[in-house]
Chains A and B, each alone.
Chain A
Amino acid sequence: MAENKLIDLINITKSYGDTVVLDELNLYIRENEFLTLLGPSGCGKTTTLRIIGGFENPNKGQVIFDGKDITNLPPNERKLNTVFQKYALFSHMTISENIAFGLKISKKSKQYINDKIKYALKLVNLDDFGNRMPDSLSGGQQQRIAIARAIVNEPKVLLLDEPLGALDLKLRQDMQYELIRLKNELGITFIYVTHDQEEALTMSDTIVVMNQGYIQQIGKPEDIYNEPKNAFVADFIGDSNIIASTMVDDRLVNILGNNFSCVDIGFGKNKPVDVVIRPEDIDLVKPEEGTIRGRVTSLIFKGVHYEMDVMANGHEWLVHSTDLCAVGSEVGIMVDPYDIQIMKKPESEDEQAVEINDSM
C-alpha cells in the first residue's frame, strides 16, 4: 500500500564528472519508518542520503517531501536533521550551545531552549554534560550529543550517516538499542546509512540493499535474509552458500547432480539458476541419510556455533551448527525445502534495477 509517502525520490541521477553514482533511482520512505540504506562503499547510499538532506543536488530527478518538491531547497530550509559520521560537533561551543544551535535559529524562547536542552540530555543519558566542551567527551558520548542536537529541533525525519562506524563493538551494540528506543519514543522517521549488515538487520523496519548506484532489493529484514533476490544480496547479507544449479521443474532443483525438493515455482524447466542456502539451515546427518554425501575438511569453534567446511560433490559447503563433526568424518547433507532459496541468474553484473515490490 503506497500510502503515507513522506519522502519520494523520483528518477534521481547523480554523477561526479564521468562517474555515474546514481542512475534513475526511485525510492519512497513512509512515515515512522526505520529505513536503512545498506551496501558496500561506493554503492551510492551516502550520496542518496545527502541528496535527501540537501547537501548534494541531483543532476536529474526530484525529491518530494510531504507533497512538496524540495529538490532545490537548501539544507537549512528542509525540515530534516542529520547526524553526521564524524559527529561534526562545534568544538568552540559547549554541549548546551551545540544543542541549542538550531533552536536559537528558530527563535525559540530562552525557557523553551533550556527545557529542551535538559530533555535532550536526559534522553541520551548525558544529564550533566551541558557545560562541557565536545573535545572532552568520548566518541560514544559525542555521538549521543550529535543525536541530541539533531532531535531537539523536532524534525519529521532524522538522517543518520554511518553514525556508529567509529565506535567499538560493545558500544555499537548498545547504541543500536538506544537508537531503536529513541525512534519509538520520538515517533519520527529514521533514514539510516550503513555498510554493516548486522546493524541493518537489527534496527530496521525496511532495508534497501544497494550496489553500484542501483537498488538490489527492498524488504523487511527477515525477507531480505531468507529470500534474497539475487546473488549480490545473498552474498552481502549473512553468510551463504551460493551454488549454480539447474531448476528441473517447479519445486525441484538439481544441485551438483542431486535433486532437492524446494518450494519455488515459475522458474521454468531445466533452467540455470542460483541457489542460496544459509549455513545454519544445513543439517549434517549420517552419510547414508543425506541427499548429498561429503567429508568435513575444517572445524572452527565460533562460540555461538561451530563453523565447518564440508567438501561434497566438488563444492565446499559452509555449515553452522551447534553440534560438531570431526574433521575427516563422512557426513550427509540435508536441507529443508523451505530453506532453499532460488534466484534468477542475472544477465549481466549486478546492475539490474529492481522493480519496487511493495509486499507489505
Chain B
Amino acid sequence: MEKWSHMKTNNKLTHSKKVKSNKLKWLSYPYILWMMAFILIPLFMVLYYGLTNKDGFFTFENILQITESMNRKALRLALELSIASTIICLLLAYPLALILSKMQMKSNSFIVLIIILPMWMNFLLRTIAWQNILEKTGIINNFLNFLHLPTLNIINTPAAIVLGMVYNFLPFMVLPIYNVLIKIDKDIVNAARDLGANSIHTFLKIIFPLSMPGVLSGITMVFVPSLTTFVISSILGGSKIVLIGNVIEQKFKLGTWHTGSGLSLVLMIFILLSMAILAKYDKDKEGTNVW
C-alpha cells in the first residue's frame, strides 16, 4: 500500500514540474511583445516607407536615390572614411591589446579601466574637444604659431573626421581583442616556443590566428558606427563634409521620409553585407563579447 502512494506522489511531482516549467515561459512574453512593437515593426516601417511613394504605391525610386550624384558621393566618402578609420583603429589597438595582455594581474584591471574611462565621457563632448584642438584658432595651431611654423588645416577636412572616428571608437577595438588575448592559455604559447618557434613566428602562427574572433568583433564595433555617423562629420567637418549619415538625417529633418527610408535600406544592405562577410570568418556561434 505504501509503495503505491509513494509512486503516486512521484507522478505528481513530475507532472507539476512539467506544468511549472511551462509557466516560466510567460516571463518572456513582455519582452517578446516589446520586441515586436519596438524593434521588428519599426524595421518593417522603414521597409514600407522605403519601398513606397507618397501615394502609397510600391516603388524602387527611393532606393534608387542612392544613385543620385550627391548621395553617391556621400556614401562613397562614408565608406572610404570608415574603412580608413577601422584600419587605423586596428593598427593602433592590436599592439596595445598585446601589451596589456602581457601585463601583471594587479595593474591589469586598472589599466583597462583607464582605457575605458574616456568612453564613459559624453560622446559629443569628446568630439567637441577635438574641434577645440584642431580649429584654425585652436590649440595645435596656436602652438605651431608659437614656433613660427605654418598652421595645420585639419579641421573640416576628411582627415579630421577620421581622427574623430578613431578617437571615439578605439576602445571598442581594444577591448574585444584584449579579452580574447588574455584567454589564450599560456601553455599554448609555451608549446609553440618549446617546438622551436621564436617570438615573431609564435605571434604570426599562433597568437594572431587565435585572436581573430576578437579582431572581427572589434572591426564590427568600429566599422558600422563609423559608416553611419553624422555627428562626427557635422562637428568636425562643418557643412563641407557630407556623409551618408548626414544625408539621411537631412531627409528626415525635411520630412522626406520615403527617400530617407530608401537610403536607409541601402545602408542596411551594406551593414548586412559586412556582417555576413565577417560572420563567415567567425566560427564561434555564441556571438561576440566586448565585456
Contacts and interface: CB of A to CB of B under 8 A. Distances in A.
B185 A88 contact: yes
B193 A76 contact: yes
B182 interface: no
Given A86-B187, A88-B185, A88-B188, A75 B193 contact: yes
Contacts of A90: 188, 191-192, 206
A54 B193 CA distance: 9
A156 B192 CA distance: 18
- The B interface is mostly helix, strand or loop, or mixed, namely helix
Interface string B176-204: 00000000010110111111111001000
A177 interface: no
Contact of B187 (A54, A76, A85, A105): A85
Contacts of B187: 84-86, 88
Contacts of A153: 195-196
Contacts of A86: 185, 187
B194 to A, nearest CB: 5
Indicate the member of A76, A82, A84 with the most B CB atoms within 10 Å. A76
Nearest to B198: A76
B195 A81 contact: yes
Interface of A: 53-55, 74-76, 80-82, 84-86, 88-92, 101-102, 105-106, 149-150, 153
B197 A55 contact: no
A55 B190 contact: yes
B195 A105 contact: yes
Contacts of B196: 76, 102, 105-106, 153
B255 interface: no
Contacts of B150: none
Nearest to A146: B191
Pairs A-B, 8 closest by C-beta atoms = A102-B195, A88-B191, A88-B187, A105-B196, A75-B193, A82-B194, A84-B187, A76-B193
A105 to B, nearest CB: 4
B195 A88 contact: no
Interface of B: 185, 187-188, 190-198, 201, 205-206, 209-210
Contact of A74 (B193, B201, B210): B193
B210 to A, nearest CB: 6
Contact of A76 (B197, B205, B206, B209): B197
A86 to B, nearest CB: 6
A82 B191 CA distance: 7
A158 to B, nearest CB: 11
A161 to B, nearest CB: 9
A90 B205 CA distance: 10
A81 B196 CA distance: 9
B194 A91 contact: no
Contacts of B210: 91-92
A257 B201 CA distance: 69
Contacts of B193: 54-55, 74-76
Contacts of A91: 210
Indicate the member of B188, B193, B196 with the most A CB atoms within 10 Å. B196
Given A92-B210, A105-B201, A84 B195 contact: no
Contacts of A88: 185, 187-188, 190-191
A102 B201 CA distance: 11
Contacts of A80: 194
Contacts of B198: 74, 76
Given A54-B193, A101-B197, 20 more contacts: A53-B194, A55-B190, A55-B194, A74-B193, A76-B196, A76-B197, A81-B195, A82-B194, A84-B191, A86-B185, A88-B190, A90-B191, A90-B192, A90-B206, A92-B210, A101-B195, A102-B195, A105-B196, A149-B195, A150-B195
A173 to B, nearest CB: 25
15 contacts: A74-B198, A76-B193, A76-B195, A80-B194, A84-B191, A86-B187, A88-B185, A92-B210, A101-B195, A105-B195, A105-B196, A105-B197, A105-B201, A150-B195, A153-B195
B40 to A, nearest CB: 36
B209 A92 contact: yes
B185 A101 contact: no
